[in-house]
Structure 1
Amino acid sequence: MIYNGDTPVSRAQSFHDVVRSRHSVRSFLPTPVPPSVIRSVVQDAQHAPSNCNTQPWQVHIASGATRDALSKAILAADEAGHISPDFSFSLDDFHGVYGERSRAQGAAYYQAIGIAREARDERRTATLRNLNFFDAPHVALMFMPVVGDCVRVAGDIGMYGQTFLLSLTAHGLGGIAQTMLGFYAETIRAVLGVDPSMKMLFGMSFGYPDTNSAANHYRIGKASIEESVTLYD
């Protein structure tokens, strides 16, 4: 069915544009997003698919004073060496082409913001911007219940996160999924009062992109579909 004069082609093109214009934003304006717009984004994300329609995501969005207190607590935890991930993660675990892609992304980012490979202090400062949410006025923290080995639930959370990010793009906003925030799960639970039974997978900082920032002007290439997809006749 075609409504409001739209054709299937124009609808597909609109989706095409949103998917391909979405990128990880690493510098934001301080301007808060209106609550009505945030609500529209989470309403979109709520339509993400999940195993048996379980909808296992528990999302905590921090803004204003809560956002600032959270960043302060995470930075203090990092300074104290208090790392508390619920799930393991190490860049060293990526082997072969996966490691190559990871290193290429890092090299492109640091080149874009003008930080040399050997400038360790500057790289450390850039990394810590994760913990200040890249100056974004909002951050969404993605929690999940423990079900079996958690793999299926984590997949559901990923689909929710992607839908959230695409909705941000469609609303003229930007966001970035941050595994690093998950390294401070215990700290984040304490600040937000989240039940310990809920495990944190990742966070997403979001807001209005700072279009003047060099961090938002680089793009990383995607693998060809031949590398990822096998088609059968």
Structure 2
Amino acid sequence: MSESALFRDVVRNRHSVRSFLPAPVADAVIRSVLEEAQLAPSNCNTQPWQVHIVSGAKLDVLSRRILADEEAGRHTPDFSFGTYPGVYGQRLKAQGAAYYQAIGVSREATEDRRTASLYNLKFFGAPHVALLFMPAVGDNVRVAGDVGMYGQTFLLSLTAHGLGGIPQTMLGYYADTIRGLLGIEPSMKMLFGISFGHPDKTSAANRYRIGKASIEENVIFHS
């Protein structure tokens, strides 16, 4: 099989995993993923990402603290969360509807939906989470773009290793609590996290797929 075909398979097989097996990933494999993610491009090779991998007992403590924050309505995001307009909002709603349908939660089951949403803060049962921080530079857009490219490379490497991950912007709502627990400087701003591990292939949450827009919807050719 050609290298391009291998890459095609990795890209097509990558999806957001929302249920994991509890078994941890071997340290050597995590290091391999990190080494590959480190090759991501960045503006002038600044590599402006700071990644914190949280596992084991520390991950359990982190989950309890951010769940307590959510219960108390205590949110400390470093970046604002706005409303997606037009077709972008429609795609967001379609993804949510497909996910809840896959796990058997109806639109009317308010409490069940709340429970499913809070599973985000239990890292979907993953044994590890990578928390992505960045320095504040200008309007932050260019640095955030670099961190996004790092995150995608990390996710593709997970897939190539037979693992799975899910980027979670929701974790950014608890930036102060996460910084406090992990001893991170306030100058480092949290963008998002990636929960990762071995996918639970028996879970209904991992058996559905959401379609992607056609190229024609997102790409404009000029000649």
Structure 2 length-normalised TM? 0.99
**What does 1:78-227 correspond to in 2, within 5 Å?**
78-90=70-82, 93-227=83-217
Q: Distance in 1 between matches of 2:85 and 2:139?
A: 23
Q: Secondary structure at the match of 1:143?
A: strand
**Quick one: which amino acid aligns to residue 219 of structure 1?**
R
Paired position in structure 1 for 2:19: 27
Q: Distance in 2 between matches of 1:10 and 1:230?
A: 30
**Quick one: which amino acid aligns to residue 99 of structure 2?**
Y
Deviations 1:17-62 (A, max 9, x none): 0001000000000000000000000000000000010000000000
Question: Cα distance, 1:77 vs. partner?
Answer: 1.0
Q: Distance in 2 between matches of 1:203 and 1:72?
A: 16
**Quick one: which amino acid aligns to residue 10 of structure 1?**
S
Q: Distance in 2 between matches of 1:137 and 1:78?
A: 21
**What does 1:1-40 correspond to in 2, within 5 Å?**
10-40=2-32
Point out where structure 2 has 5 or more consecutive residues left out of the alignment. Answer: none
Q: Secondary structure at the match of 1:84?
A: coil
**Quick one: which amino acid aligns to residue 110 of structure 1?**
Y
Q: Distance in 2 between matches of 1:223 and 1:20?
A: 14
Deviations 1:63-120 (A, max 9, x none): 1111111111111111111100000113xx1111101100100000000000000111
Q: Distance in 1 between matches of 2:222 and 2:78?
A: 39
**What is the RMSD of the two structures over their aligned residues, measured on CA atoms?**
0.8
Q: Distance in 2 between matches of 1:96 and 1:64?
A: 41
Point out where structure 1 has 5 or more consecutive residues left out of the alignment. Answer: 1-8
Deviations 1:123-159 (A, max 9, x none): 0000000000000000000000000000000000000
Q: Distance in 2 between matches of 1:99 and 1:71?
A: 29
**Quick one: which amino acid aligns to residue 13 of structure 2?**
S
Aligned length: 223
Q: Secondary structure at the match of 2:2?
A: helix
Q: Distance in 1 between matches of 2:67 and 2:18?
A: 18
Q: Distance in 1 between matches of 2:73 and 2:86?
A: 30
Counting aligned pairs with the same residue, the percent is 72
